[in-house]
């Protein structure tokens, strides 16, 4: 039986009616219409579907849509700041571009959200801490080298 669920996504309130067995990932992609978060495996093994849920990075494929009721969700679409004419990219997004950290780009939204969660709590991580923070995010294109570099060089303070 469908349930009404209300949550905030990227600062905006969303109300959707969904079956309890739909994952938050599917709800975000279909009902809310935000397809930036990707489905790489659907079983929590690849972290491509990482979103930040009440401040914590989680695999949205393993959260039910109905569980997100009342919660605050950040997805990749919410990172860039809307300006009068265009967008201002988040420092992480700028550095992913600058250091060539996105090749096919499929792991990128989840990777950036995992990195954002790291920097939100630890603005100056070591390389080991960066690699640990993205240890669950699979990338098959880059060998992680430029991803780690981009995150390490991101100074969220300025």
Shortest distance in whole angstroms from residue 8 CB to another protein: 18
The nearer residue to another protein, 77 or 157, going by C-beta atoms, is 77
In the complex, least distance from residue 129 CB atom to another protein, rounded to whole angstroms = 11
Question: Of 4 and 135, which has the nearer Cβ to another protein?
Answer: 135
The distance of closest approach from Cβ of residue 157 to another protein in the complex, given in angstroms and rounded to an integer, is 20
Instruction: Give the nearest distance from C-beta 13 to another protein in angstroms.
Output: 20
Q: 15 or 140: whose CB is closer to another protein?
A: 140
Nearest residue (CB) to another protein, 73 versus 107: 107
SS3 sequence of the chain: CCEEEEEEECCEEEEEEECCCCEHHHHHHHHCCCCCCCCCCCCCCCCCCEEEECCEEEEHHHCEHHHHCCCEEECHHHCCEEECCEEECCHHHHHHHHCCCCCCCCCHHHHHHHHHHHHHHCCCCCHHHHHHHCCCCCCCCCCCHHHHHHHHCCCCCC
């Amino acid at each position: 039986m469908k349930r009404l669920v209300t949550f905030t996504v990227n600062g905006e309130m969303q109300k959707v009616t969904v079956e309890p067995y739909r994952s938050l990932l599917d709800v975000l992609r279909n009902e809310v219409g935000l397809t930036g978060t990707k489905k790489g495996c659907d079983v929590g093994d690849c972290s491509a579907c990482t979103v930040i849920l009440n401040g914590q990075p989680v695999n949205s494929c393993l959260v039910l849509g109905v569980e997100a009721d009342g919660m605050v969700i950040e997805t990749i679409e919410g990172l860039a700041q809307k300006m009068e004419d265009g967008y201002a990219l988040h420092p992480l997004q700028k550095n992913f571009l600058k250091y060539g950290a996105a090749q096919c780009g499929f792991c990128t939204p989840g990777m950036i959200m995992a990195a954002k969660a790291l920097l939100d709590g630890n603005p100056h991580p070591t390389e080991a801490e960066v690699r640990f923070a993205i240890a669950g995010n699979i990338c098959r294109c880059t060998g992680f080298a430029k991803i780690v570099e981009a995150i390490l060089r991101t100074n969220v303070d300025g």
